[in-house]
Structures are given as structure tokens and as C-alpha cells.
Amino acid sequence: MPTERQIRFAKAYIAPPDGTKAAIAAGFSAKTAHVAGCKLLKDPWIAAEIAKGQAKFANKFDIDATTVLGEPASNSSTRSRAEDPPP
């Protein structure tokens, strides 16, 4: 069973996904938040809660990989910057 701080960490990590800030928001010391965040992200329960929260966030705002990253490279210009004429 997760602790109260683990639950708070999972909720705080969803937006923005920053382990250190989430650990501080969950009540961990600022001095050890980086290490605590790293350890907490490896916990299977926390990882599952974060994944659920991120999925809800993405669904709420209709966000998918294409929205974030844009169209795949195959649909964009394939010219490299080296082929651009000098100014």
C-alpha cells in the first residue's frame, strides 16, 4: 500500500513531469528531493499511477504524439540544412 507522500508524489509528477519538484511538493526535503524523485519513479505502483494520470491528462486535452511532436519526418521536407543555399 502506498504512503501518503507516494500518492502526493504521483499526483504532483503528472504536470509538469519533474521528479525533483514533485518530491518537494509531496513533502520530501529539497536537499534530497532529486534522489527521492529518482527512487520514487522506479516504484511500480507510482509508475502505474503516473501513467494513468498522464493518460487522463492527454484524453482531457485531446493530446497525442502527433500533437506534441508534429507530423512524422517522412511527411515533412526531406532537404537537409546543408542543401539550403547560402544567404
pLDDT digits (tens, 9 = 90+) for 67-76: 556 665 554 4
Check whether the bond before 16 is cis (ω within 30° of 0): yes
Yes or no: is domain 4-69 CATH 1.10.10.1400? yes
Helix, strand, coil percentages (3-state) for the chain, rounded to 5, are 60, 0, 40
Higher pLDDT residue, 39 or 81?
39
Q: What is the pLDDT of residue 57?
A: 72
Q: What is the pLDDT of residue 71?
A: 62
Between CA 65 and CA 50 the distance in angstroms is 17
Domain ranges of the chain: 4-69
Nearest CA to 37 out of 57, 14, 28, 51 is that of: 28
State the Rg of the chain over Cα: 19
